Each structure stands twice: as structure tokens, then as C-alpha cells.
């Protein structure tokens, strides 16, 4: 039996994989598990519930709220806000847990349900397993005055906005920033945050209609924001995804500044200001080799984790570190947030431009991006990758050929019959040649299904 929870909550096609009935049952299971400490203290659990603007979020939030309230949980409905805002609010009001209904950068027909524990932190696998097991247990059935309430969290966005502005130590006056809100959860708060911080703001992707979230806009579709940055003569472009936990940047010439480059900029700046704990940055194994080279040059240690922001979060917590993230633009400031926050990242990036007096292109030059080639080999036995000697020998030969000027990473997909072959090198044609050779070997060794 496959696990219900994936790498970031429960996700699927709304109305098919995630139905009103399944959302209600999941909420009842969460109430049983996440509300237990409050009940042991003889008080009623409180949960913050929020969503992004996709159309299915309305029925899913209604089902989640019904499941929680019917289980004796008081629900505060924060409406449409970013995922990091929901996490912040859980911590800010000391709620027992939170629920975010979103499918992040996925298209509108998809949706998801993710939970935050007390303090606004993502759930460990063991707690998710408890919730999944609770789905077959009898739900809580309080009656009378013990039934939970559902109320509007009226100042949710304002609280989050004040929190964001409180992280800044400089005004953004003089900066012209283009914001691509992906027709998503950032459409309300991100333009307000940048304008209140003093920036001149040009906005696109800020007219969500329930179905246009991430459609040809946002951090996965950068063409329009790049054009607008150049056409408007802006200093900086910021592209969010649907739930605004990611941020990618655009320089004045329309060049993309990805999550690795953003981390390099922020890590070097934080070290200079004495704010980078143990002079250490956390990133995943998929980060570009150029990030490690840049960090070495600036005396910053790089801790690398498995792919996924939850593993970055675990490492930040385990070692008490301040900054980490992913190439995709999930950047985590542990001093200010418990999850990736795209609006916070954009503000901090803009603030460093002001503090340094440098353009985003000049700041990004701290890191040389190594050409990276990724080949997805589908229809193969991904589990056979481990222990396959011919493939291991070929990888060793490729690594020896590249030396310190490149690297090789073969990674089985977590959900599909696929192996991802990633090669980095100083020159693109070298990376492409090695990646193609390894991909062919993977096909030959692990077999292509019909």
C-alpha cells in the first residue's frame, strides 16, 4: 500500500484524488493526532487554515474546516495567503497546528493539503504516518458546547505583512521592482510589502481567477517577467510560485538569478554582517557545483542534504544554522521563518542591493554557474540503480575525467520509473556528452519497459 503523504503533504487532482470526503476525513485524522497535546491539557485545540486562490481550494477548505470543527477544533480561516504566511501565523498566535491548501507551482486542477505542527514547522514523517493511521480510527465526536467553531482570521495578512517589514533594516526607496505573483497567493501581500518598504513596484500575475494560477507566469514560466523587467527599465524582477514559498530573480538585462545564486548572494552578505551562523550554508545535492566553489572562495562551509526543502529544514534545525535553500528558489531564513518564503527572500535580496549599492547582476557574479545537464531516463527499474556495478564504474570514470571541474549525480525518482542523470562541467558540451553516455548505460542496464 502506497503512502498517502508525499514529499510535501497530500497532493493530487482535486475532485478525484482529493475529494470533499477525503479532505474531511484527513482533517479528522489530523485533529485526533495534532490536537492531542491540547486535549491532554484540557483545552480546545486551535488551528489556522489557509489556501491559495485556485478554485478547488474553496470546497477543500470548507471540508477541512468541517472535519476539524466536528472534531472539537476551533478553526481560524485566514483565507488566501502564502504558505509561509500560514506557517508564520501558526507560530505567531501559538496555534496547535495549521493547514495549508495548495499545490504550489502545479497547475490549477491540482491541489494539496499540508500540515504545520505547533510553531509553524512541517511535520516529520512519523507524525504524518500517525495521521494516516488515524484515518481508520473512529473520529472524535464531540457534542454541544464541545464542538469547534469556525471564525475568520481577519487580520491574517496584516500580521504577516508587519512581520515581513520587521525583517528589514533599510528602506527600498530608489529601487524599481517588477513582481510576478503567478496569479497566486502572493498577489495581495507581495506588492504591499515591497511598496510599504519604499520600492517603486510594477506588478504582473496579480489577477487570480481560480484557474489561472501558475499559467504561463510565475517562477516556472519566466518569459513574461523577464520581458517586463527589460521593457520597464526595472532594477530587479521577483517571480513567485502559486503559494509564494519560492523566489527567483531577474536582473536588469533579463537574466535569471536562480536559487543557488540567491543563496550565494545572501550567504556572503550574511557572513560579512556576522549573521551567518558558523559561516555555514545548507543546500541540497542538486545545487550547482558553482555554489560550492563560491562558498569555498569566501570561507563558507556548505552542508548538502537530500532533495527537498524538508531536509534543508532538518539540517538547519539540527545544526542551529541560519540560512539554507534549494536551486528552485526555496530559501529559508531560520531567524525569520520556519519554511521557504518567497516574499521574504525577495525583500532581503532587494535590501542587499540597497546596502551594497550594487546591481543584482553584480551581486550574482559572486558565483559562476557551471553548465548543468539533466537527462531523465524513464521506463527503467529505478530501484536497480543501487548496487549496479557497471553504472557505478562508469560514474567513477566520469568523475575522474571531470576532477574538480565537474560532478556527476544519478538519482532515482521517488515516485516514477525514472532515473535522473545530472552532470556539471566547465563546458556545456562536456556535460552533455557525459550525461548522454551515462543515460544510455542506464537504459541498457536497467531495461526500458514497453
**Using CA atoms, how far apart are residues 191 and 347, in angstroms rounded to an integer?**
11
CATH fold, domain 159-364, is Alpha-D-Glucose-1,6-Bisphosphate; Chain A, domain 3 (3.40.120)
**Which residues, 6 or more positions from 139, have their beta carbon under 8 angstroms from its beta carbon?**
25, 28, 29, 31, 32, 67, 70, 71
**Across 67-82, average pLDDT:** 98
pLDDT at 2 over 80: no
Q: What is the DSSP string of 168-231?
A: -SS--TT-EEEEE-TTTTHHHHHHHHHHHTT-EEEEES----SS-TTSS-STT--HHHHHHHHH
Q: What percent of the chain has pLDDT over 70?
A: 98
Is pLDDT at 369 greater than 70 in this prediction?
Answer: yes
Q: Give the pLDDT of residue 288.
A: 93
Q: Is 104 annotated as ligand-binding?
A: yes
**Domain ranges for the chain:** 10-154, 159-364, 372-446
Closest CA to 374 of 302, 423, 425, 313: 423
Residue 413 has pLDDT above 60, yes or no: yes
Which residues are part of the catalytic machinery? 104
Would the annotation count 436 as a binding residue? no
The residue with greater pLDDT, 179 or 414, is 179
The annotation status of 245 as a binding-site residue, yes or no, is yes
Same fold, 10-154 and 159-364: yes
Dihedrals φ, ψ of 402, to 5°?
A: -75, -35
Report the predicted TM-score, pTM, of the whole model to 2 decimal places. 0.92
How is 280-303 classified by DSSP, letter by letter? EEEEETTS-HHHHHHHHHTT-EEE
Mean pLDDT, residues 180-206 taken together: 98
Class of CATH domain 372-446: alpha beta
Average pLDDT of the segment spanning 62-73: 98
Residue 450 pLDDT grade (very low, low, confident, very high; cuts 50, 70, 90): very low
243 is in an annotated binding site: yes
10-154 sits in which CATH class? alpha beta
pLDDT number for residue 8 = 81
Amino acid at each position: 500500500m502506497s503512502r498517502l503523504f508525499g514529499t510535501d503533504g497530500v497532493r493530487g487532482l482535486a475532485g478525484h484524488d482529493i475529494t470533499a470526503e477525503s479532505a474531511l476525513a484527513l482533517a479528522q485524522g489530523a485533529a485526533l493526532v495534532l490536537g492531542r497535546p491540547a486535549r491532554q491539557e484540557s483545552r480546545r485545540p486551535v488551528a489556522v487554515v489557509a489556501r491559495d486562490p485556485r478554485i478547488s481550494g474553496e470546497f477543500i477548505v470548507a471540508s477541512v474546516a468541517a472535519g476539524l470543527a466536528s472534531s472539537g477544533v476551533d478553526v481560524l480561516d485566514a483565507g488566501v495567503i502564502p504558505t509561509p504566511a500560514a506557517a508564520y501565523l501558526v507560530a505567531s498566535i501559538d496555534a496547535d497546528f495549521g493547514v495549508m491548501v495548495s499545490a504550489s507551482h502545479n497547475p490549477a486542477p491540482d491541489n494539496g493539503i499540508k500540515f504545520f505542527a505547533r510553531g509553524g514547522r512541517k511535520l516529520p514523517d512519523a507524525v504524518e504516518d500517525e495521521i494516516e493511521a488515524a484515518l481508520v480510527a473512529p473520529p472524535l465526536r464531540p457534542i454541544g458546547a464541545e464542538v469547534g467553531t469556525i471564525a475568520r482570521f481577519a487580520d491574517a495578512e496584516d500580521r504577516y505583512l508587519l512581520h515581513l517589514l520587521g525583517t528589514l533594516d533599510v528602506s527600498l526607496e530608489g529601487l524599481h521592482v517588477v513582481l510576478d505573483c503567478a496569479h497566486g497567493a502572493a498577489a495581495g501581500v507581495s506588492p504591499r510589502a515591497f511598496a510599504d518598504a519604499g520600492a517603486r513596484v510594477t506588478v504582473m500575475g496579480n489577477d487570480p481567477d481560480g484557474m489561472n494560477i501558475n499559467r504561463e507566469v510565475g517562477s516556472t514560466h519566466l518569459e513574461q517577467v523577464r520581458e517586463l523587467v527589460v521593457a520597464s527599465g526595472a532594477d530587479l524582477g521577483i517571480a513567485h510560485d502559486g503559494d509564494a514559498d519560492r523566489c527567483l530573480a531577474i536582473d536588469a538585462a533579463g537574466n535569471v538569478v536562480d536559487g543557488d545564486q540567491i543563496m550565494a548572494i545572501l550567504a556572503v552578505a550574511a557572513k560579512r554582517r556576522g549573521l551567518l551562523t558558523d559561516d555555514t550554508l545548507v543546500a541540497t545535492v542538486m545545487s550547482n557545483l558553482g555554489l560550492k566553489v563560491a562558498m569555498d572562495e569566501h570561507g563558507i562551509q556548505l552542508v548538502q542534504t537530500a532533495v527537498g526543502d524538508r531536509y534543508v529544514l532538518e539540517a538547519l534545525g539540527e545544526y542551529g544554522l541560519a540560512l539554507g535553500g534549494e536551486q528552485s528558489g526555496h530559501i529559508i531564513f531560520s531567524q525569520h521563518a520556519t519554511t521557504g518564503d518567497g516574499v521574504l527572500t525577495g525583500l532581503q535580496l532587494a535590501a542587499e542591493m540597497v546596502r551594497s549599492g550594487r546591481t543584482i547582476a553584480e551581486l550574482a557574479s559572486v558565483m559562476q554557474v557551471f553548465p548543468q545537464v539533466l537527462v531523465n531516463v524513464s521506463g527503467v527499474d529505478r530501484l536497480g540503480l543501487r548496487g549496479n556495478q557497471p553504472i557505478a564504474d562508469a560514474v567513477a570514470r566520469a568523475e575522474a575525467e571531470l576532477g574538480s571541474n565537474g560532478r556527476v549525480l544519478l538519482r532515482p525518482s521517488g515516485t516514477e520509473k525514472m532515473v535522473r542523470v545530472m552532470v556539471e562541467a566547465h563546458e556545456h558540451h562536456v556535460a552533455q556528452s557525459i550525461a548522454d553516455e551515462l543515460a544510455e548505460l542506464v537504459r541498457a542496464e536497467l531495461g526500458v519497459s514497453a
